[in-house]
Structure 1
Amino acid sequence: MKDIIKPIAVLAGICLVVTAVLAYINLVTSPIISAAEEAAAEQAKMEVMPGAKSFEAVSIELPEGVTEAYIADNGGYVFMLSTKGYGGEIKLICGVNADGSVAGISTLSHKETSGIGSKVVEDNSGYRENFYGKTADNYSEVDAVTGATISSKAYKKALDGAFEAYELAKEAK
């Protein structure tokens, strides 16, 4: 019986120590990670809304797919978007000028297939630039990427939410 209890006690002690170390590391690094994420989000807002220097959260009931909304000091709006693509969740940030045209779009994260669906969501693919200057009336004219129809539709669905949130935010102003 002694031969069984001693190894179990040692293993339990090791697990307890490792758990305590991991909890401490999480405690130390979580504020650093949060600060880095906030800085990246602020940088992304500036990227999709050129000319804006500050952003204020907008309190409106957000449509499906829009997770956050901000008004920029230049009168434009920035929306955090989430949609489901072929490979999983796609998170975007979209800037809409005061006149309702797309100022910029950037991908925050995605799980699309490399080389196919990623042609839609990666910032260096050139696809997002097709939407710049487009409004709710004409953004659907942008063609889908060949072989990435589901990802392209998901991208446009996210923009649906951005334009809907823009209208709601403009009315609430």
Structure 2
Amino acid sequence: MLIDSIRRNSIGLGIFAVLTAGTIALTQTLTAPRIEANKLSAATKALDEMVPAAKHDSPFFKHVITLPAGTLGNEHAAEVLQSVLQGQVNAVFLPVVTHKGYSGDIRIIVGVWSNGDLAGVRVVEHKETPGLGDKIETRKSSWIENFTGKSLANTTGEQWHVRKDGGEFDQFTGATITPRAVVGAIHDALEYFQANKGQLLTLAGAPK
């Protein structure tokens, strides 16, 4: 689910440690609360980068809509988080999975303002090639920032492709499949928002 996915991946991709089973158990017992707090803090920071604190006055994890399995590429039920300001939903965070990555699934969060403009996009999990496809990460390049402000209204269907395919968005040198997959997934998210914005912009309650 979206919250779990963000918590699992927001600390950083590709950080691994080889420890004995006993050490793992002891470490988890002693550090689990701190790790969970750090993960939640990192997740909130990533969402705040898309919708700054001044634009919402309620915690993102307080208002949640559950999407059925299969929606936006998610194999299981997924959660949409709502940004709320003065009792009104002003943006949503859509969990999207594209199965068209070069090395497997790419999981992203697509932030959409209530007017249909993109608030931002963040990759939360992928297995793309280091030094090539991993430029979809904000810590590797600013490529994904180019989507902020884009919408179905100001970017036509033909433009929602990489330049190699006649679209507006740059591909990476030596890596076209990865950015092509992400561009397509973002476009799918915007189309889903457009078709379901009545539900998505209706204030929801806390997750059960």
Q: TM-score range with shorter-chain normalisation?
A: 0.7 to 0.9
Shift, 1:169, TM fit: 4.8
Equivalences, count: 155
Q: Distance in 2 between matches of 1:80 and 1:64?
A: 7
For the pair 1:153 / 2:168, whether they are aligned, the reply is no
Deviation, 1:96, is 0.6
Once the two structures are superposed, residues 63-102 of structure 1 have per-residue CA deviations (whole angstroms, 9 ceiling, x without a partner) of 2335431111141111233334213333322211111011
**Map of 2:38 onto structure 1:** 36
**Partners of 2:51 and 2:144 in 1: CA distance:** 14
Equivalent in 61, 64, 82 of residue 68 of structure 2: 61
Q: Mark the structure with the bigger radius of gyration.
A: 1
Contact preservation (8 Å) 1:44, 1:93: no
Aligned to 1:70: 81
Distance 1:94 1:134, change over 3 A: same
Between the aligned partners of 1:37 and 1:82, the Cα distance in structure 2 is 21
Give TM-score, length-normalised by structure 2: 0.62
Partners of 2:145 and 2:84 in 1: CA distance: 23
Counterpart code for 2:175 = A
Q: Distance in 2 between matches of 1:22 and 1:95?
A: 36
Partner deviation per Cα, 1:38-68 (whole Å, 9 max, x = no partner) = 2211111111123234322123436233543
Give the corresponding residue for 1:83: 98
* Residue matched to 2:189: 162
Assess if the C-alpha contact under 8 Å between 1:89 and 1:110 holds in 2.
yes
> For residues 148 and 64 of structure 1, do their structure 2 counterparts lie closer, same or farther at Cα, with a shift above 3 Å needed?
same
What's the secondary structure of 1:59's corresponding residue?
A: strand
Stretches (4+) displaced over 4 A: 18-21
Q: Which has the higher helix share?
A: 1
Shift of 1:159: 1.0
RMSD: 2.6
CA contact (8 A) 1:92 1:107 kept: yes
Maintained 8 Å contact 1:68/1:81: no
Q: TM-score of the superposition, structure 1-length normalised? A: 0.73
- Cα contact 1:83–1:89 (8 A) shared by 2: yes
CA distance in structure 1 between the partners assigned to 2:107 and 2:148 by the alignment: 18
Identical columns (%):
32
Structure 2, unmatched stretches of 5+, are 1-19, 161-166, 203-208
Segments of 5+ residues of structure 1 without an aligned counterpart are 1-17
Query: Does the 8 Å contact 1:112/1:118 carry over to 2?
Result: yes
